[in-house]
Amino acid sequence: MSEPATGRPIVHETLPHRVLVGPGARHAIPEETERLGVRRVLVVATGSARTAADELARALGPRLAARFDGPVVHTPVAVTAEAMELLRDRAADSVVAIGGGSAIGLAKALAVRAGLPQIAVPTTYAGSEVTPVLGETEGGVKTTRRDPAIAPGTVVYDPELTWTMPPGLTRTSALNALAHAVEALWAPDATVVSDALATEAADGILTALPEVLADPSGPAGRARLQQAAWLAGGCLAQTRMGLHHQLAHALGGTFDLPHAELHALLLAHVLAYNLPAAPKAAARLERITGGDPVTVIGELARGHTGPTTLGALGVPRDGLRAIAERIAAQPYPNPRTLQVDALVRLLDEAW
């Protein structure tokens, strides 16, 4: 927790939202739409959630206004415009998103534009469903805004929707969630609440992830991992992001990289850079990992069977300095000063 300077309090805000949790929780969505008093639901889903979306469409019956099955990572505004047209054509009065952060991002973009209630049903561990944050891309540039009106009013955590998540996505998405918790531990606006969330999230992820990787369809491990990811999303909602998320935004936006894989491979490098300047985060993570957090988390990341370096993701090595310069010029708040040469070394290690 940071000590607020006299006269300048840290502001802790909790968003009002309802969360339904448990195996089969998705079956309560039609009832939830009744509670909201909506009559025409637009269902936004990714291909991976087609079965669940079909099932929901049947359960909604006449309350289904339309389906939009084309969300795209990083919420391009052109895709939002297309979905918005469908929403208006069919006079939808609410949005339900089923899928990863891409589906949830699109639903947030629609709901905030049209002022409609939304229900988010995540199938990954990205955490967007509990944040008031929306990142959108236009012309290759990603901008992020924060507004309470963006946050879904209802979130449904049904671990059954994660049972068939492939091991690669399970690992990288869980490490993406872990990054939210880690950055909350060293955030300048950390509070006792965010510390508690972050510590429990990191502990839960680092305990449940190896368990789930060993038994990907084990219901108990999946439920624990999803709940730890919920806490990690809460961290992202409450504290400001640091170097890790800044690197992910700069690299992901510039080179159009897969979100979870990028987060997964960066985390240990950012930990190595920041932990010497973040003793509280270091002590907590040492206690949780029972060793050196950089080694433990680095090994989890390197266990991925897909790309585990920036080079393998297709980032050109001669593009690293420009990223470092951009970050040092407009740094997110970070425990260690962001110097161009040190950032180039970090990026080169990750490359």
Residue with smaller CB distance to ligand NAD, 134 or 278: 134
In contact, 263 and 172? CB cutoff 8 Å:
yes
Mask 187-226, x = binds ligand NAD (CB under 6 A)?
Answer: ----------------------------------------
Q: How far is the CB of 190 from ligand NAD (least distance, A)?
A: 18
Range 247-286, binding ligand NAD (CB under 6 A):
259-260
Q: Which stretch binds ligand NAD (CB under 6 A): 53-61, 166-174, 290-298, 310-318?
A: 166-174
Q: Is residue 238 near ligand NAD by the rule CB under 6 A?
A: no
Q: Is residue 227 near ligand NAD by the rule CB under 6 A?
A: no
Provide the 10 A C-beta neighbour count for residue 202: 30
Residue with smaller CB distance to ligand NAD, 36 or 103: 103
Residue with smaller CB distance to ligand NAD, 105 or 221: 105
Q: Is residue 99 near ligand NAD by the rule CB under 6 A?
A: yes
- Residues facing 68 on adjacent strands: 44
Q: How far is the CB of 155 from ligand NAD (least distance, A)?
A: 12
Q: Measure the CA–CA gap between 111 and 84, rounded to whole angstroms.
A: 9
Residue with smaller CB distance to ligand NAD, 51 or 339: 51
Q: Is residue 164 near ligand NAD by the rule CB under 6 A?
A: yes
Residue (of 14, 103, 34) closest to 67 by Cα position = 103
Q: Which stretch binds ligand NAD (CB under 6 A): 4-12, 22-30, 159-167, 275-283?
A: 159-167
Question: Exactly one of 48, 94, 246, 308 binds ligand NAD (CB under 6 A); which one?
Answer: 48
Residue with smaller CB distance to ligand NAD, 134 or 343: 134
Mask 109-128, x = binds ligand NAD (CB under 6 A)?
Answer: --------------xx-xxx
Q: Is residue 239 near ligand NAD by the rule CB under 6 A?
A: no
235 by Cβ neighbours in 10 Å (0-12 / 13-18 / 19+) ranks as buried
Question: Exactly one of 94, 102, 118, 227 binds ligand NAD (CB under 6 A); which one?
Answer: 102
Give the interface with ligand NAD as residue ranges (CB under 6 A).
46-48, 73-75, 99-103, 105, 123-124, 126-128, 131, 133-135, 161-162, 164-166, 169, 173, 176, 236, 259-260
